[in-house]
Amino acid sequence: MRRIIWWLRAVLVLLLITFFSYVLPQHDIARVTRVSEIRTDFSAFNRIFYAQADSGNVDGTTRDIRLIESQRMRSYLFGLIRAGSEQVMVYRNEDTGWIWPPYFKFDSGNLQAEAGDLVSTSAAPRWVAVRHYGWRIPFLTIYPNATAIWPVAGPDVRIIPWFNIMFFLFLAVAWGFLRAVWRQFRQRTVDPALTRVDQTWDGIEAGVTTQKGRIGRWLDTWRSKRR
Amino acid sequence: MNFVRLFLFGFAALTVIYVMISLYSRSVRKERLENEWDAAPQSDAPGARDAFIATGMAAYRGSLRRRLILLVYVVPVVLVTVITYLTNAT
């Protein structure tokens, strides 16, 4: 039984890690090679990995997606380990709107203009930092959503993920607080109620065994004393 | 449009959190009053303990701590505003 609970917890942790690795912002050091727009039709498989139409527009089944094509400095483990080589990366540039994920990004048009201004070649690279969320899975044709882009000094710049650090600290505090709330609730409300139920039940049981009718007492004379 | 959805859903979720924190804070205050009395009873009269706790809880009702819980509504609104500004104006 304990093993099953352990496995359930492990699966839950894995799901959370997957969820947060999609939604939380990450930073890439890259050089923008091109900005473009493509017409995209969504299928049932990849629809969830795209946002909705730009804020203020009608949401259809097909629309033009802004793309930012780049050469990214290859890195692993959320940017902690750097490989030093370049890797192709294509970002999309969509409004997230008011609902999900809570980036409240409405300026994808402006962001596209900024990215277009930062286009460079491998001969004369202009390195930028791209803040994005989401995954690049060519098999499903999904792209991470770029939320901000700004020039940096070179390809070796290290960006510290302040927001993620604060976010996980807040989660830890919230988890501790929830545990305190639950413990208080159990100690002050549940346990006394259970004790009252126990006492009532004990009273009932005692009453059943002591209050016997005449037939019960006659039957007892036939039973052995070891009761 | 979607802003209304965010507002309604956010208000519902924040109300749940507010009620939870309110009940927790009341429970902790009541427990502290009871422990304070049990450690050093001020009188032997039969209803004195209940009266002491009732006075303490009435004082809590008007206290700053209880009003601070309303920040549960304020902080997320501020956060959303700040995120919206930072995302869209840089």
Where b means 16+ CB within 10 Å and e means fewer, B7-46 reads: eeeeeeebeeeeebbeebbebebeeebeeebeeeeeeeee
Spell out the domain ranges in chain A: 2-159, 169-222
Pairing of strands A62-76, A81-92: antiparallel
- Calpha distance A224→B10 (Å, rounded): 69
CB contact under 8 A, B6 and A99: yes
Q: Which two tokens stand for residue B78?
A: 């501020």
Tell me the per-residue pLDDT of A86-135, one tens digit each, with 9 for 90 and over. Answer: 999 999 999 998 888 999 999 999 999 999 999 999 999 999 999 999 99
At A39, the pLDDT band (50, 70, 90 cuts) reads: very high
Mutate to test the interface with A, among B20, B28, B86, B88 (most CBs of A within 10 A): B88
**Closest residue in chain B to residue A108, using alpha carbons only:** B88
pLDDT, position A227: 56
CB contact under 8 A, B24 and A181: yes
Mutate to test the interface with B, among A54, A55, A57, A98 (most CBs of B within 10 A): A98
Tell me the per-residue pLDDT of A169-205, one tens digit each, with 9 for 90 and over. Answer: 999 999 999 999 999 999 988 888 888 888 888 888 8
Tell me the per-residue pLDDT of B23-44, one tens digit each, with 9 for 90 and over. Answer: 999 999 999 999 999 898 888 8
CB pairs under 8 A between A and B: 42
CB contact under 8 A, A188 and B83: no
Does A213 score more than 80 pLDDT? Answer: no
pLDDT, position A190: 86
Q: What proportions of chain B, in percent to the nearest 5, are helix, strand and coil? A: 85, 0, 15
pTM for the full predicted model: 0.83
Amino acid symbol at B1: M
Which one-letter DSSP state was computed for residue A48?
G
- Calpha distance B60→A169 (Å, rounded): 30
* ipTM score for this prediction: 0.85
Tell me the per-residue pLDDT of B44-79, one tens digit each, with 9 for 90 and over. Answer: 888 888 999 999 999 999 999 999 999 999 999 999
